Structure 1
Amino acid sequence: MGCFALLALLAGCTDAYMPDVIGTPPGYLVVDGFLNAQGVTTIRLSRAFAVASKAAAPVETRAAVTIEDNTGARLLLAETSTKGTYASASQQLNLNRQYRLRIITLAGKEYASAFVPVKITPAVDNLTWRINGNGLNFYVSAHDAANATQYYRWETDETWEIRPPYAPVVEYVTAARAIRPIAVPYPTVCYGNMRSNAVLIDKTTALTQDVVSDFPVKQLLPASERLYTRYSILVQQHALTKDEYAYWELLKKNTESIGTLFDPQPAQLTGNVRCLTSPDEVVLGFVGAHSVSEKRLFISRTDLPAGWPRISGYENCVPPDTVFLKPKGMVPPPKPEEVLLTAFGPQNMLPIEEIYIAGFLGGYTTKPRDCVDCRTRGAATRPSFW
């Protein structure tokens, strides 16, 4: 047997391997958020889950969550309408005190982060964009004249317009099994949104000045559908302590640097949150205390090179399909209401407009809901900043 044949045989006998430890949910508490020194603190509590699981991460609901300073003063966070998410009232943390997060779960387990100092994040000096061979690139610049920040983290929040190719004038009424003029039109524009989960960090400890210049935070390819009409990006800046920066640096390595046997292998990632009830229990997350500064910019299609492709994301939705009330070749032809029920009843298809043949209604143009109703891809409510 030749070498290539042997390799093919071995490849055919290879099964996917999923270790038991990966397939079994450990149920570790995951604490996501920080103590906002000048505003509303939002904390998300969830549980670690199996890699092979297709379900969303289980959230920790009905917990008692408080912010506590080193004098014993406490501020309660209330669970919001989003289960597992807890928020405080707007607050101003005392720069002369240290703070921590305290959690008591519904099951009675108690957790607390380490006490940390409060840092004030300097302003974002500049948020700029430039076009090069790779597409549209965004950069952030900042500095701290007092040299007190040194450790930075950024988050991006993108918003863009979504414009569907169709504006239906009719709709299918299930109860009547009939097509009627549309009562409430579908929105002609929606707004997509994406908050980045990339770890964007930088430090200035090796520099003589606490200055960050043109740190890259986002790149969009020329064919991105987010650039179809109008696009906006918000960059939020966080000042970190040395320990918090080390946590995010390790998280970045664990999530982005694993590719071959020669890459750094995953390290144990925990943070500064501990279980007071069971000290040996693993808890994931780092809770720091700092303010946030941010800057937003907008880009219109006219700002971009004319030669860039204009992609809406609906290219596969054009042209529309057609539903005929009397399909050819069917003897006897089905009743019109039966055709409509088959086309628009149990299926996720929407009628768009009428088709007339020789002066008589012959059918309707149609497409799946995802091609017609932009609310499947974004929100119809216009953002306040738009």
Structure 2
Amino acid sequence: MSSLLIRRVLSGCLVLLAACTDPYMPEVITSPPSYLVVDGFLNAQGVTTINLSRTYAVASKATQPVETQATAYIEDEAGTRLPLTEGTVKGTYTSAAQTLNPARKYRLHLRTQAGKEYVSDYVPVKITPAFDAVDWRAEREGLGIYVSTHDDANATQYYRWEYEETWEIIPPLRPSLEFLNNNIIPIRVPYPTVCWGTERSPIVQLTKTTSLSQDVVSNFLLRRLPQNSDRIFRRYSLLVQQHALTKEEYAYWDLLRKNTESIGTLFDPQPAQLTGNVHCVNSPDDLAMGFVGAHTLQQRRIFVERTQLPFSWPFNDGFTGCYPPDTLDLSKVKNPFQIFRSGVALPVGQIPKGYTISTLDCVDCRRKGTTVRPSFW
């Protein structure tokens, strides 16, 4: 039996099965409890940013609700408080730039608008070692980005990384006319010729050196882009953030990684309850999600130019479905060449016979990013 026939048989089976089943959404998925989610860490040398939100139903089409108008501050074991304030971005609370005393332990203290009081466990301040290197390599599998670091004092041992990538988006088509109300008219507002896309790391990146004789991380693969990625079509940048974790914080992130990445077959580990080190003081049954650690932060940015990559790698601008542009059915256009007769003096022989046409997705790069040029570009 040919592979095509097998696919047809399987497709028929799937249609048949789909027709005989009804969707089932358990109550816990459609209307789960609303728990507080605490996202962030206490920056020991700089500005602390904490995002507060709420859990919501998997089946919900709404955006994740944020926790606004809360009172938040950092406090040490001696009772010293450093306030966090909510800015223009609702649910985001920031402190002034500060330096935490590494000889003390700190925690986050929250009081919601509803009067619920939450505290995280007191945690020690960890000093994140500097990067030894953030390198990129053109490899057979694509563009690989690696980080290396070490701690001579053997005091770190548990590491986590985040990254934010930015890339240029260049639309392949630049129209001079537009189709409006069944008429061809000069384009009213030119479309941008370049945009920038940005995305934060979607996965948890961790490692530990407890089984090694030295606290050294060498060439940890942080990111891989295939050779034909549209993100390396012209210019690409990646900002790496390095965090030093405690053993308990590492365990939390490792469980989060397993819960989000390693589930999908019968042989994967089953999901485990994930809470963290944040607790509700005046209502212990109200769970909170998140782990608030305290450490310094190391950052490094790299750039990759297309001219630095192998010429043999295929070029992909992210608009492959836009070639070639379609043609416009002139029967749908009122006076299809009126613009040339009234607006531009052209001999009759030079009046065009038709138009090529495309969609906004092929000409407006704002569908994929923003026209605001990044400050570091």
TM-score for the superposition, normalised by structure 1: 0.85
Aligned in 2, Cα 1:381/1:12: closer, same or farther, shift over 3 Å? closer
Q: Which amino acid aligns with 1:375?
A: R
C-alpha separation in 2, matches of 1:222 and 1:370: 23
SS of the counterpart of 1:118? strand
After superposition, residues 222-301 of structure 1 pair within 5 angstroms as: 222-301=227-306
Mark the CA change 1:366 to 1:117 in structure 2 (over 3 Å): closer, same or farther: same
Instruction: Give the counterpart letter for 1:17 in structure 2.
Output: Y
Closer, same or farther in 2 for the Cα pair 1:312/1:10, shift >3 Å?
closer
- Matched residues in 1 for 2:209 and 2:65: separation? 38
Matches within 5 A, 1:53-68: 53-68=60-75
Distance 2:267 2:184 in 1: 64
Secondary structure of the equivalent of 2:358? strand
Is 1:378 the counterpart of 2:369? The answer is yes
Aligned residue number for residue 49 of structure 1: 56
TM-aligned CA distance change 1:178 to 1:366, over 3 Å? closer
Name 2:4's counterpart in structure 1: none
Q: Which amino acid aligns with 2:254?
A: E
Instruction: State the match for 2:5 in structure 1.
Output: none
Separation in 2, partners of 1:356, 1:140 = 64
Matching residue within 111, 118, 126 for 2:118 = 111
Give unpaired runs (5+ residues) of structure 1.
Answer: 341-354
Deviations 1:308-347 (A, max 9, x none): 11000112123334546xx33x7xx84679x99xxxxxxx
* Alpha-carbon distance in 2 for matches of 1:11, 1:372: 38
**Alignment partners' CA distance in 1, 2:334 and 2:312:** 50
Taking structure 1 as reference, are residues 163 and 357 closer, same or farther at Cα in structure 2, changes over 3 Å only? farther
Contact 2:75 2:82 in 1 (8 A): yes
Q: Which amino acid aligns with 1:49?
A: Y
| Correspondence for 1:138 among 110, 126, 145 | 145
Aligned pairs for 1:22-171 within 5 A: 22-170=29-177
- Distance of aligned partners of 1:357 and 1:130 in 2 relative to their CA distance in 1, 3 Å threshold: farther
The superposition leaves residues 101-139 of structure 1 with CA deviations (integer Å, 9 ceiling, x where unpaired) of 111111111111111111110001111122333222111
Q: CA deviation at 1:208?
A: 1.0
> Is the Cα contact below 8 Å between 1:356 and 1:363 reproduced in 2?
no
Q: 1 CA distance for matches of 2:58 and 2:368?
A: 26
Q: Which moved more, 1:270-279 or 1:102-111?
A: 102-111
Alignment: residue pair count: 359
> Are the counterparts in 1 of residues 110 and 118 from structure 2 also a CA contact under 8 Å?
yes
Could you say what secondary structure the match of 1:121 adopts?
coil
Aligned-residue sequence identity (percent) comes to 59
Change (3 A) 1:258 1:181: closer
Measure, in 2, the Cα distance between the counterparts of 1:372 and 1:245: 45
Q: Distance in 2 between matches of 1:45 and 1:357?
A: 66
- Tell whether the 8 Å contact from 2:177 to 2:184 is kept in structure 1 after alignment: no
Structure 1 contact 103–111 (Cα < 8 Å) conserved: yes
Q: CA deviation at 1:178?
A: 7.8
How far is 1:81 from its partner? 2.0
What TM-score, normalized by structure 2, do the two folds share? 0.87
Q: Is the 8 A contact 1:173 1:180 kept in 2?
A: no
The equivalent residue for 1:179 is 185
Task: Give the drift of 1:181.
Answer: 5.5
Paired residue type of 2:63: A
Relative distance call for 1:301 and 1:99 in structure 2 (3 A) is same
> Quick one: distance in 1 between partners of 2:139 and 2:244?
30
Q: What SS does the aligned partner of 2:248 have? A: helix
2:206 pairs with 180, 191, 201, which one? Answer: 201
AA at the equivalent of 2:219: D
Tell me which of 20, 28, 39 is aligned to 2:27. Answer: 20
- Residues 356 and 362, structure 1, Cα contact 8 Å, conserved in 2: no
Cα distance change, pair 362–108 in 1 and its aligned pair in 2 (3 A): farther
Gaps of 5+ in 2: 1-8, 340-345
Query: Displacement, 1:277?
Result: 1.8
Q: Give CA deviations for 1:178-228 in whole Å, capped at 9, x if unaligned.
A: 83464x533211111110121101111111111011111111111110010
Matched, 1:367 2:374: no
State the Cα RMSD in Å. Answer: 2.8
- Alpha-carbon separation, structure 1, partners of 2:140 and 2:296: 36
CA distance in 1, matches of 2:77, 2:348: 80
Residue 309 (structure 1) aligns with: 314
